[in-house]
Every structure is written in structure tokens, then in C-alpha cells.
Structure 1
């Protein structure tokens, strides 16, 4: 039983480590990753590495080729725009359902996240800000208490982060704009103006899509 648990843990560790390398931009689209390199880097056998790569291929972050090996997938503009459309639908629906109905615990967690965002912006730490941005938006959808919505949001976030990270790296001033928009969204969620909340979230998501275009 202990061996089974250890193998499972190593598979998960490999999966999270490789995924983080891709999402953080350390390995950009088109990068070749050999099993040997990953095995040496993560100090584990090829078995958990292969399992991790299979999972990453299923969610579209890598492509396994018998001849070329492992290639980090390029995220096409078409795919990014599709992700934005799905995010728009998920988050505006969640906002409409939750405006004026969230408790103090929710806002305590959101305020903590916003404080950390502000510190990341001051430091111009794009990597940290992107992770906190992800938490902020997942928090909104998770507030619905609908597992299917939460799972759908989580599934698209890794690809979304690749796109949004590029936006912030190219224009670090956008970090301040993004933070200010998050603060306005937080304030709107405490009120009962459903239309305003929906408009703020839609404008926030559409802005980044416009930048990419």
C-alpha cells in the first residue's frame, strides 16, 4: 500500500511541477522536453514522468510525438479567445447569482487576496500576480457552490494563465489597471446592483481579449 501511495504522490508531484513550468512561461510553446531531462530535473524515474505527461497531453498543454518526443503546445489565438468566451459566460453568471448574497468569510478571503495582489503589483512580480489573479476569479465561480462550474473554471485556467501572463509581461502598467478593476468588482459584489457587477466583470475580461487582438 505504501508503494502505491508513493507512486501516486510522485505522479502528482511530476504533474504539478511540469505544469507549473509551462504555465509560468519557463517552457514556452514549442519547447522540447525529453523524459530524460525531466527525470533528472525532478529526481525521479521515468514512470511518474510519463504519467504526468499523459495527463498534460489530455488537457492540451503538451503534445507527445513518437518521433519528436514531448513538445510544449502553442496556445493558438483562436483557443485563447474561446477560453475568454467561456470565462465570460461562467463569471458573469456567477456574479449575477451572488451579488448581495455573499457572507463575511467570502469577503475576508477576497480582501486578503487583493492585499497580496497589491503587494505583487508594487514588486512588479508578474508570476505571483497571475497566480493571485487566478485565485480571485476562481473564488467568484467557486462561490456558487456548483461543482460543475468550479471544475469547468479550473480546467480552462491553466491555458488562460499562459495568455494573461504574456499580456502582463508586455505591459506591466496593466497590473495596476487589473488590480483596480478587481477592487471595483469586489465592491460591486457587496451591493445589490446585479447589472453593474455583470458589466464590470465583462469589461475586465473583454479588455484583455482586446489587448490580445
Structure 2
């Protein structure tokens, strides 16, 4: 365990949320590696906080699937497994197809313009090459589609899945060769939405999710090998 964890204090957030965000980012960025044990005392010392917010953060990270509680051993960073990837993406694929179908039918012209603007921001992030920024702008792109469905319950379910998707999203984006493909996929989806072509949009979205599964699955196999 290195000593490079930094707490970014935020006067608007309670300490437990700051600690949670710090540990979450460290896991997503790989600063806390898959399989690494999370020792409350050590983490409290490194972050200069008491054990209580550490314990609360670990509990929340377990709910997100980022941390695993091992009997008689304690907490450790969850490994990315092919099974968990498949489980999450099977659900995501169905929900995203439904979302894009509804968005195609219901998005206002203003919302379509917002999707176009979000794609421009995504392009800029890809050009800069910062993986975290690309992941965030990719997430925002999908958020605009979700909002365009006009279905609050669907948005709520997709938001609940968001945290579990984020790790795979980041893992996909780390593969620099795939970033241009991502851009083209977003363009394809956007074009279909603008033309209100439902089947075309659903097919583009399905391809978008399938490519993510293929790439991340390959990366997992390589890491295990």
C-alpha cells in the first residue's frame, strides 16, 4: 500500500462523504489495487481521520460492489470478474435499449441539442486524453438520454446501476485504442436520435454496450493471465 492517498476536503460535504469519495476514486484509479486489503487503522492514519468515517465508507463501497467483505479477514478491494461484468452489462444493455427507444420518441428539440453539446464536450475530453474526464463526460452523455425518456422510474433504476457501471466504463476507457470507436458510437446514436430512427438507435446502443463487454472481458482475462 503506497502513501499517495490525499483527502480533498470540501466544506460543503460531511467528512464521511469526503472519505468515501477519496477511497472510491483511489479504487477506480487503481491506487488501491484489486485484492488489496483495506485496514481501517492504516487508512485512518493515511487520511488523518478517525476510524468511524473509514468504516462507513467501506460499508458504502461494499454496497457499490467495489469492496468485498471476507469472513475472518476483513475488507478488500473487489476484483473485476467476468461474471460481475456480465451481470451488470446484461442489465445495462436492456435498460439502455429501452431508454434510447423512449428518448427517440420523446426528446424535445432542446434535449436533442443538449445531447449534441454533450457530445462536443466528450470529444474535447477524448482529445485531452484524461481517462477520468472521458468517463465523466461519457456518463453525462448517457444522462441526457435518460432524462430525455421522461420516465422518472427508469432514470432512478439507471442511476442506481451507475456506480456499478462506472468501474467498467473506466476500465474500457483506459484502452486508448477504443476512444475513437466510442466517439463514433456516440455519433451514431446521436444521428439516429436526431432522425427519430428508433431501431437504428437501439442497434447503435446495443453495439456500444457489446463493444464495452468484449474489450473489458479481454482486459480481465489478460490481467488474470
TM-score normalised by length of structure 2: 0.81
- 1:185 aligns with 189
- 1:77 aligns with 82
Sort the Cα spacing of 1:15 and 1:143 in 2 relative to 1 into closer, same or farther, 3 A: farther
195, 199, 202: which one aligns with 1:195: 199
- Kindly report the root-mean-square deviation, in angstroms, between the aligned alpha carbons of the 2 structures: 2.2
Show structure 1 runs of 5+ residues with no match.
1-5
- 1:208 aligns with 212
Number of residue pairs the alignment of both structures matches: 206
Q: Taking CA–CA contacts closer than 8 Å with sequence separation of 6 or more, which of the two structures ends up with the larger relative contact order?
A: 1
- 1:135 aligns with 140
Mapped to 2, the partners of 1:109 and 1:193 lie a distance apart of 18
- 1:61 aligns with 66
Which segment drifts farther, 107-116 or 86-95? 107-116
- How far is 1:210 from its partner? 2.3
Mapped to 2, the partners of 1:149 and 1:136 lie a distance apart of 16
Show structure 2 runs of 5+ residues with no match.
1-10, 219-225
Sort the Cα spacing of 1:183 and 1:17 in 2 relative to 1 into closer, same or farther, 3 A: same
Sort the Cα spacing of 1:41 and 1:103 in 2 relative to 1 into closer, same or farther, 3 A: farther
Mapped to 2, the partners of 1:81 and 1:138 lie a distance apart of 22
- How far is 1:194 from its partner? 0.8
Sort the Cα spacing of 1:129 and 1:83 in 2 relative to 1 into closer, same or farther, 3 A: same
2:8 equivalent to 1:34? no
> Residue 70 of structure 1 aligns to a residue in which SS?
strand
> Residue 63 of structure 1 aligns to a residue in which SS?
strand
88, 92, 96: which one aligns with 1:87: 92
2:27 equivalent to 1:22? yes
Does structure 2 retain, via aligned residues, the 8 Å contact 1:185–1:200?
yes
- How far is 1:88 from its partner? 0.9
